[in-house]
Amino acid sequence: MLICLKFLKASACKREVGRNLVLKLIGVLALQGDYDKHLRTLDQVNIPAIDVRYPSQLFKIDGLIIPGGESTTMNDLMSRIDFHNHLIDFAQKKPIMGTCAGLILMSKKIKNDDKINPLGILDIEVTRNAYGRQLHSFIDKVEVVVDGSIINERVAFIRAPKISSIGKSTEVIGKHKNDIVGVKTGIHYGFAFHPELSENGYLHQYIFQGKTHYKEENNAA
């Protein structure tokens, strides 16, 4: 059975899983950064999505992505419209995915920056720009655990943070060599890399739909 939201384009549909119809609308925080890439990725895997620019929009959505960008700028913009408290309240019941700068903002502690007010949603400590500046950005393979399987995927690291420590409530789900690059705390996920720049949206699909097409289409590699 296929149901579509009338106020969204035709591709914004979700399939019925068993007898329970779950129709989710995912938001992407669109204050600064590469939010448009996330919106395109969600569209690619047929997940309804909107850009979120005001706290009042959080009541309309079932999950949120905090994208990569400039974490200090994003923090300042969030502070101007009191986004921090609203996001903390939102995280009590609904999942948030953070990538790069989003990971930094969702962390509990930032090792080398006291100007950012972290949300404390992920029980981790991070170091900003730990892989170097823009010039030192790179693409390399990471191992990510998705639905019980290990997936090797080439991903982009752009001025990426490093996860320097994790709390007891946090699970490691992604590694690059000896570095932790993907974590899960409760229903929330954080990644040091940019999954939205990959050719498939398997992480977006898994986090917000509880399933992924990756094994079916790409596991032969």
Residue 62, judged by CB atoms within 10 A of its CB (0-12, 13-18, 19+), counts as middle
Question: What does the pLDDT look like over 91-136, one tens digit per residue?
Answer: 999 999 999 999 999 999 998 778 899 999 999 999 987 676 655 6
Q: Is 129 among the domain residues?
A: yes
Q: Which domain holds residue 56?
A: 21-211
Q: For residue 7, is it within any domain?
A: no
Highest-confidence segment of 85-99, 127-141, 154-168, 196-210: 85-99
Q: What is the CATH number of the domain that holds 181?
A: 3.40.50.880
Average predicted confidence (pLDDT) for the chain: 84
Q: What is the pLDDT of residue 193?
A: 94
Domain-embedded: residue 185: yes
What pLDDT shows up at residue 117? 94
Q: What is the pLDDT of residue 213?
A: 64
164-176: average pLDDT = 95
Active-site residue list: 100, 194, 196
Q: Quick one: angle between helices 83-90 and 71-80, nearest 10? A: 100
Distance CA 76, CA 73 (A): 5
Residue 9 domain flag:
no
Q: What is the mean pLDDT of residues 209-218?
A: 60
Task: Please report which confidence band the pLDDT of residue 218 belongs to, taking 50, 70 and 90 as the band edges.
Answer: very low
pLDDT at 149: 86
Question: Over the stretch 54-103, which tens digit does the pLDDT of each residue have?
Answer: 999 999 999 999 999 999 999 999 999 999 999 999 999 999 999 999 99
169-174-178-179 Cα dihedral, nearest 10 degrees = -70
Residue 74 falls inside a structural domain: yes
Residue 161 domain flag: yes
Q: Return the H-helix or E-strand segment holding 41.
A: helix 35-44
> 7-44: per-residue pLDDT in tens?
333 333 333 333 233 548 999 999 999 899 999 999 99
- Domain tally, the chain: 1
Distance of CA 153 to the CA centre of its chain: 16
With respect to residue 6, please indicate whether it lies within any of the assigned structural domains.
no
C-alpha dihedral (61, 67, 70, 74), degrees to nearest 10: 10
Residue in the structure block whose two tokens are 């954080």: 190
Residue 196 within a domain: yes
Buried b or exposed e, range 175-204, using 16+ CB within 10 angstroms? ebeebbbbbbbeebbbbbbbbbbbebbbbb
112-116 long-range Cβ contacts below 8 angstroms, 24+ apart: 113/71, 113/72, 115/72, 115/75, 116/71, 116/72, 116/75
